[in-house]
Homo-oligomer: A and B are copies of this chain.
Amino acid sequence: MLLAIDKKRDNNFLYQQIYEGIKNKILEGRLKAGEKLPSKRTLAEQLDLSVNSVSYAYGQLLAEGYIYSKERKGYFVENITKFNSRGSNENKFPAELKEELLNKSGWLSLSHMTADISNFPFKEWMKCQQKVVQNHKAELADIEHPQGPYILRETICRMISLSRGAVCEPEQIVISSGTQLLIQQLMALQNKGAVFAMENPGYARIRNLVSSMQFEVRPVSLDQHGIDMKEIHSSKADIVYVTPSHQFPTGKIMPISRRIDLLNWASQSQNRYIIEDDYDSEFKYETDHIPSLQSLDRNQRVIYMGTFSKTMLPGLRISYMLLPPALLKEYRRRYSDAMQNGNSIMLFALHYFIESGEYARHVKRMNHRYESKRKLLIKELHKRINDRIHIENVPAGLHFLASVKTSKSYNEIEESSLQNKLELYTMRRFMLKPDWNKPKQIDLVIGFANIIEEKIPEAADRFARIFV
């Protein structure tokens, strides 16, 4: 008899017992290639099951290629290769790769990477998604334009022309899920030997990304006006990455004179480009918006980049870049069949969110909220270690730079902030040159976005404790 079936076991899946039983006999070689299987009827009678169960099992074995059928002759076992090396599945997953999920309860965060979403208008955001479902069924059923929905590109274009003086056409906007992906696409368009220069200290993720793409990355130091022009000229850079409206991480605003120097440098050669990462320019507390570098550029040398992750939700993952026509041509040639990786519901929803004015209202709301958090945190820090802390007081963005006089090392500080359950990042994280160091002083990048106002004194206490 071919099989033994346990009828008490899950009645509905009797066919699976047949399927499994025959499959295993074949894999174990107990049913030989070419061997004839009993007809569906015979097997059904043997097992006292419905012919349906048997024929469904045979169908599955056919589909997977364990058996074949000959017309009016019946079913036969396929000639199946043997596994020539077969490990076991048992505990193959190395314990050291297990993730330990850290418990953040009791922690306070002075991270620069977070945002305050307690006031985010989720209800209005959902309404915008509803509009998308009502108005864009056809678009949602199809694949998206590589650069993102045209109406969103129009809306972004209009917005940054007004708020940032950007000069642009919707065609020039490329939307993607994050600045890293935009830089990656951009660098993939560069020639093999291209040199990438960036501010030091700077955005280490970008450095890691670009050097992982086999490009040479030249860190360029900062003077009091921003990126050092002498170093740029000697760097042989083809493309330079800067954050002029709020240097990351020092917070400096690049003055007009340095902006013009930079544009002049770029205009000296056909292939020089400037990436302007405007990552948090929406937040200015005592002044108006500062016109973007791109708005001053008359030679199409600037690639403007913006994001909605800082103003809306860190996990929103919607960023965009504004490509000069020459690069747009390249981009289209290269990425005509690339997939847009933003979620289309979210992309269309963002269009309605901006168009309805919700976005502007939210940014304004957050501007006030962040301004008072910032003031309070600076006040509380001064209260505690006034004599030893120096804060770069640039009223912009979601973080500021602070230097504290101390004999402690970076290791000790980072260690002790762990013990005090204070999420705090030192400048070490952003130094693109290891040799960088100042004696008797620790530089910190202090974010104030995601800490509750009531908790700020407590955070300042912990901060002071760390530097005792």
A residues contacting B by CB (< 8 A) are 19, 56, 59-60, 63-66, 78-89, 92-94, 97-99, 101, 104, 111, 113-118, 122, 126, 129-130, 133, 137-144, 150, 167, 169-172, 177-178, 180-181, 188, 204-205, 208-209, 212, 225, 253-258, 260-261, 263-264, 267, 284, 286-288, 290-291, 298-300, 313-318, 325, 328-329, 332, 334, 337-347, 450
Q: A137-B117, A290-B64 are in contact. Are A85 and B315 (CB under 8 A)?
A: no
Give the copy number.
2
Chain B residues with Cβ below 8 Å from A260 are 80-83
Chain A residues touching B, majority SS: loop
Closest to A291 in B: B64
Chain B residues with Cβ below 8 Å from A261 are 81
Asked if B93 and A450 sit within 8 Å, CB to CB, the answer is: no
- Contact among B88, B171, B254 for A298, CB-based, below 8 A: B88
Chain B residues with Cβ below 8 Å from A89 are 167, 298
Asked if B138 and A130 sit within 8 Å, CB to CB, the answer is: no
- State in angstroms the CA–CA spacing of A116 and B212 once bound together: 40
Least CB distance from A84 to B in Å reads 5
| A-B complex: 8 closest residue pairs judged by Cβ atoms | A65-B255, A315-B344, A177-B341, A63-B287, A87-B298, A81-B260, A85-B267, A80-B257
Asked if B299 and A87 sit within 8 Å, CB to CB, the answer is: yes
Asked if A92 and B345 sit within 8 Å, CB to CB, the answer is: no
Least CB distance from A55 to B in Å reads 11
Asked if B177 and A97 sit within 8 Å, CB to CB, the answer is: no
Q: What are some 16 contacts across the A-B interface (CB < 8 A)?
A: A60-B288, A84-B264, A85-B264, A97-B328, A98-B169, A126-B126, A126-B129, A141-B314, A144-B314, A144-B315, A181-B341, A205-B337, A208-B337, A313-B345, A317-B344, A346-B346
Greatest chain B CB density within 10 A among A140, A150, A317, A450 is at A317
Q: A93-B325, A329-B97 are in contact. Are A255 and B177 (CB under 8 A)?
A: no
- Contact among B79, B80, B101, B177 for A342, CB-based, below 8 A: B177
Closest to A334 in B: B212
Given A205-B337, A317-B339, output 14 extra A-B contacts at Cβ < 8 Å: A63-B290, A81-B261, A83-B263, A85-B267, A93-B169, A97-B329, A117-B140, A126-B130, A177-B343, A180-B339, A181-B181, A315-B340, A342-B343, A343-B346
Least CB distance from A134 to B in Å reads 9
Least CB distance from A212 to B in Å reads 7
Q: A287-B60, A315-B344, A341-B178 are in contact. Are A299 and B140 (CB under 8 A)?
A: no
Closest to A138 in B: B104
